[in-house]
């Protein structure tokens, strides 16, 4: 989810036992994803869907692992760049409200967030916000790891 040019998805497909990848983004990046598969000689079965969060997906689609690297910063303008900015945290709320419909019973979520300690003059979701969202949507935080040397953290979440 929020696959962009597919960096994370392709890395996982090549480095882990994952067999199939479904790449999703609000932008139509089908050609770029297909080109990246070809030039890197990836053999895995992949599919791309253009979708605003889960809106274009049928609830019959169930995933063992859902990975999201979304836009992090809250904006008050709907015209803000969707790579970096999430209008009123709509994506964040939409994602966690709907994600459990798309997970297998043992399915997991890997969600990238920004480290709370980042000093920047932009609003981003901190641990306190995630705690509330998880409680509201009956999701469990299993692990929470900092990625050393970066501003990112990874959360592993289950139903
Ligand atoms: C931080 S970038 C992810 C970059 C990606 N990891 C890569 O390697 O290219 C965020 C991505 O989220 C996508 N995005 C923004 N809003 C979205 C939404 N509502 N639904 C799905 N994708 C969205 C953007 O188009 C962008 O590609």
| Tens-digit pLDDT profile for residues 8-40 | 999 999 999 998 999 999 999 999 999 999 999
Verify that 70 and 145 share a domain, yes or no.
Answer: yes
How many C-beta atoms lie closer than 10 Å to residue 8's C-beta? 18
- For ligand 1, atom 7: residue with the closest CA: 4
- For ligand 1, atom 9: residue with the closest CA: 4
* pLDDT on residue 65: 97
Query: What are the structure tokens assigned to 126, written together?
Result: 């901190």
Verify that 134 and 73 share a domain, yes or no.
Answer: yes
What separation in Å is there between the alpha carbon of 3 and the centre of ligand 1?
6
Burial class (CB in 10 A: 0-12, 13-18, 19+), 127: middle
Would you say the CB of residue 27 lies under 6 angstroms from ligand 1?
A: yes
Would you say the CB of residue 53 lies under 6 angstroms from ligand 1?
A: yes
Domain hosting 112: range is: 59-159
* pLDDT on residue 79: 87
Verify that 88 and 132 share a domain, yes or no.
Answer: yes
Predicted TM-score of the model (pTM) = 0.95
Domain containing 102 — which CATH number?
A: 3.40.50.150
* pLDDT on residue 144: 97
User: CA-to-CA distance for 9 and 21, rounded, in angstroms?
Assistant: 7
Would you say the CB of residue 9 lies under 6 angstroms from ligand 1?
A: no
Verify that 77 and 132 share a domain, yes or no.
Answer: yes
- Decide if pLDDT at 128 tops 90: yes
Are residues 138 and 98 in contact, defined by beta-carbon separation less than 8 angstroms? Answer: no
User: CA-to-CA distance for 135 and 157, rounded, in angstroms?
Assistant: 12
DSSP labels, 15-83:
HSS--EEEEEESS--HHHHHHHHHHTT--SEEEEEE-STTTTS-TT--EEEEEE----EEES-TTS-TT
Number of separate domains in the chain: 2
Would you say the CB of residue 67 lies under 6 angstroms from ligand 1?
A: no
Identify the band that residue 47 occupies on the pLDDT scale cut at 50, 70 and 90. Answer: very high
């Amino acid at each position: 989810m929020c696959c962009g040019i597919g960096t994370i998805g392709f890395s996982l497909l090549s480095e882990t036992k994952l067999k199939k990848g479904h790449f999703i983004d609000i932008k139509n990046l089908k050609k770029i994803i297909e080109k990246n598969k070809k030039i890197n000689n990836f053999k895995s079965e992949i599919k791309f869907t253009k979708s605003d969060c889960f809106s274009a997906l049928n609830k019959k689609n169930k995933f063992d692992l859902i990975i999201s690297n979304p836009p992090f910063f809250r904006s008050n303008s709907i015209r803000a760049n969707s790579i970096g900015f999430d209008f009123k945290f709509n994506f964040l709320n939409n994602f966690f409200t709907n994600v459990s419909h798309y997970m297998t019973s043992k399915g997991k979520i890997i969600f990238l967030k920004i480290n709370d300690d980042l000093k920047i003059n932009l609003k981003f979701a901190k641990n306190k916000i995630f705690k509330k969202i998880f409680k509201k949507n009956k999701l469990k935080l299993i692990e929470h790891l900092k990625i050393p040397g970066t501003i990112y953290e990874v959360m592993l979440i289950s139903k």
